[in-house]
Amino acid sequence: MGRQDIEPIVELSHVYLDYHNGRSQGTTIVEDVNFTIQRGEKFVIIGPSGCGKTTLIKAIGGFLQPRQGQIVVNGAPIKSPGPDRAFVFQDFEQLFAWRTVLDNIVYALQVTKQLARRAAIDKAQFYLKLVDVAEAAEKYPHMLSGGMKQRAALARALALEPDILLMDEPFGALDAITRNQLQLELNDIWQSTGVTIVLVTHSIQEAVFLGHHVMVMSSSPAQILEIVDTSQAQDLASPAFVDISAHLQSLLIRRGRNQETAQESAAQLSAVE
Amino acid sequence: MRISLAAEKKAWTLPEWLRYVLIGASFIAAWQLYVSFGGVSQLLVASPASTLQALFTDTTNGQLPGAILVSLQNLAIGMLIGISIGLLLASFSTFSRFGRYLLTALTAVFSPLPGIAILPLTILWFGLSSSAIIFVVVFGAIWPISASTDTGFRTIGTTTRMVALNLGLSRWQTVRDVFLPAALPHILSGLRLAWAFGWRTVVGAEIVFGVAGSNGGLGWYINNARYFLNPPAIFAGLVVISLLGVLLDTFFQFIEQKTVVKWGMKQAQ
């Protein structure tokens, strides 16, 4: 994979995250989590549904603060969300419905980078081409398919030229074919931009295929079970891919907190293959 | 896209506009027949022909255009102020807990009051001037607009809010560039409600002003016509008030077509 310079970009130390619901005390969702993400890598977080992986990536995005512990990005603890950590959501409604696809990106560039309109349009068109939605530039989001919406959202995030691309199950609501297509393209995009990618998924295939490292989490409160190096296992047909997938599968199922969770994960896994 | 449950194959039917024209024409014909052969006094019911005559006369002598202008001006100024205050109240209510309680309390107490009911008070405050009418329109517009805008702001999705945060927008940018457009379907229905209240209020208030008004609007115009026992002019005034109402509603529908319907935020009607 050829990462020459190993330099941490995200560091979490002893992070505890709570879920707050109104005035209640809050339940611990993520418990004592420590890990480091290197600049330029593709780091995947995987775990059973509802285990807190979305909460974790939101915390890296700055949308919520840890109860305890520290999240350091680029050497400084994060205090708020910002365009240096561009987020791609699972939700198809993440584009502004009242702007065309192109205008969504132009607006994002104008407010984050204070670009002149002409320069913003040029840059937006470049990234729309990169993710292959240039033909939808003048359309409003509601006219696009789910896959096209996610491409456009990816283009907007990339156009911000962020340090980190945070993706919370971005392909989770897509059909299998579109999903595989976008996984391939995300790899190409990473090749050409070298952006650090943090991706949350519940698909083992997606995790092993896309990730350099796959962090496996237990069910709630989430703890790290293992961080698996998957950088040598990106060819779907290779023995390494099969071995690592099997390993992840056994981690996810064995460590389920109760039988029900285990069965649910098993069902999910067989659905994925 | 509209989903129709009707059968696929349809026989040829009259175009929609033609149906309305036919209904209108038969209504006018029945009205004319009633006046011509019903033996009703011309002082109680004017015929369509004499109404048209009055419309023509008072349009050419400038009376009706003047009255229309006054009424629309009162409505427009009142609506503009009402919209501004309504939007401010809704924003305040969205961003502060005190604001929310304030808006809830004010809406609960004031929105059941018919605008026209506070006219005696505003006449005391402002005298027999258009300010008294405008104040009533403002009062009537604030509550539907702030309530619907508030609902619109509250129902904005988590993802949309998170995108705004992710872009690092300032509070002002968030309201102007994200909250207002995202809440526009609600805001527009509040506006339609508000102007409908406002239009009725303007005409009602102008009638109360009666002959004392020096530069009256449409309400004053029809009341004046009663004073001079001129039923054709009363009917002409009513026709104009109704037509302007239809026109304004069409205008709001047009705005909806050009915005929220085009953006897929609201189904076409």
Chain B interface test: which of A98, A111, A114, A145 (most B C-beta within 10 Å): A98
Domain count along chain B: 1
Q: From CA B200, how far away is CA B193, in angstroms rounded?
A: 11
Write the residue in A83, A91, A141 that is nearest to B167 by C-beta: A83
CB-based contact, B168 to chain A, within 8 Å: yes
Query: Mean pLDDT over residues A80-109, rounded?
Result: 95
Q: Which of B:180-219 have CB within 8 Å of A?
A: 181-182, 184
Interface test with A, best of B1, B166, B173, B174 (most A CBs within 10 A): B166
B14 confidence band (pLDDT: 50, 70, 90): confident
Q: Is A93 close to B178, i.e. CB distance below 8 A?
A: no
Domain boundaries, chain A: 1-84+164-230, 93-161
| Domain assignment of residue B5, yes or no | no
Query: Does B104 reside within a domain?
Result: yes
Residue B33 in any domain: the answer is no
B/e letters for A136-168, b = 16+ CB within 10 Å, e = fewer, are: bbeebbeebeebbbbbbbbbbbbbbbbbbbbbb
- Does B134 fall in a domain? yes
Nearest to A167 by CA among A47, A60, A15: A60
Question: Quick one: how far is CA B178 from the chain centroid?
Answer: 26
Query: What separation, in Å, do the N-terminal and C-terminal C-alpha atoms of chain B show?
Result: 11
Report the complex ipTM: 0.86
Tokens of B16: 């929609």
Residue ranges of alpha helices (H) inside chain B are: 16-37, 48-60, 63-95, 97-110, 119-126, 130-154, 158-166, 171-173, 180-182, 184-209, 218-227, 231-256
| Interface subset of B 220-259, CB within 8 angstroms of A | 259
Q: Is residue B200 part of a domain?
A: yes
Q: What is the pLDDT of residue B13?
A: 83
* 3 state SS of A200: strand
Domain of B239: which CATH number? 1.10.3720.10
- Return the structure tokens found at A140: 């409003």
Q: Are B217 and B71 in contact (CB under 8 A)?
A: yes
Pick among 3.40.50.300, 3.40.50.720, 3.40.50.80, 3.20.20.120: CATH of A1-84+164-230: 3.40.50.300
Query: Is residue B230 one of the residues assigned to a domain?
Result: yes
The residue in chain A having the minimum alpha-carbon distance to the alpha carbon of residue B157 is A93
Query: Among candidates A248, A190, A238, A246, which has minimal Cα distance to A214?
Result: A248
Domain residues for B177? 65-261
Q: Tell me if B182 and A98 make a contact (CB, 8 A cut-off).
A: yes
Q: Are B195 and B248 in contact (CB under 8 A)?
A: yes
Q: Pick from B48, B42, B56: which is nearest to B29 by CA?
A: B48
Query: In this predicted structure, what is the pLDDT of residue A86?
Result: 95
Interface size A-B, in CB pairs within 8 Å, comes to 64
| Contact call for residues A5 and A39 (beta carbons, < 8 A) | yes
Which residue of chain A has the CA closest to B174?
Answer: A111
- Percent of chain A predicted with pLDDT > 90: 61
In sequence order, which residues have a C-beta less than 8 Å from that of residue B265 and are 6 or more positions away? A97, A98, A142, B184, B185
When comparing pLDDT for B6 and B153, which is higher?
B153
Average of pLDDT values for B237-263? Answer: 93
Q: Which amino acid is at A127?
A: Y
Q: Which amino acid is at A177?
A: I
Q: How far A32 CA lies from chain B's nearest CA (Å)?
A: 26
Q: A185: which residues sit within 8 A by CB, 6+ positions away? A: A131, A132
Of B166, B182, B262, nearest to A83 by CB-CB distance is B166
Q: Nearest CB to B167: which of A93, A112, A141?
A: A112
* Alpha-carbon distance B260 to nearest alpha carbon in chain A (angstroms): 8
Among the residue ranges A8-12, A267-271, B89-93, B124-128, the one predicted with the least confidence is A267-271
The alpha carbon torsion through A56, A60, A62, A68 (nearest 10 deg) reads 70
SS3 A267: helix
Are the beta carbons of B159 and A85 separated by less than 8 Å? no
Which residues of chain B lie closer than 8 angstroms to A60, CB-CB?
Answer: none
Residues 6 or more apart whose Cβ sits within 8 Å of residue B2: B267, B268
How high is the pLDDT of residue B141?
92
Average pLDDT over residues A20-47: 84
> Chain A contacts of B163, Cβ < 8 Å?
87, 89, 94, 96
- On whether any CB of chain B is under 8 Å from the CB of A85, the answer is yes
- Residue A3 pLDDT greater than 50, yes or no: no
Cβ-Cβ contacts under 8 Å, B259 against chain A: 98
B263 and chain A in contact, CB less than 8 A: yes
Residue range A7-29: mean pLDDT, rounded:
80
pLDDT at residue B125 is higher than 80: yes
- Is the N-terminal amide bond of A221 cis, ω within 30° of 0? yes
Q: Is the pLDDT reported for residue A264 higher than 60?
A: no
Closest-CA residue to B175 (of B195, B149, B148): B149
Shortest distance between the Cα of B84 and any Cα of chain A, in A, equals 22
Distance CA A89, CA B164 (A): 13
Residue B94's pLDDT is: 87
Phi, psi of B83 (to 5 degrees): -60, -45
Q: What is the pLDDT of residues B194-249, one digit of tens each?
A: 999 899 999 998 888 754 555 688 999 999 898 889 999 999 999 999 999 999 99
| pLDDT for res A157 | 96
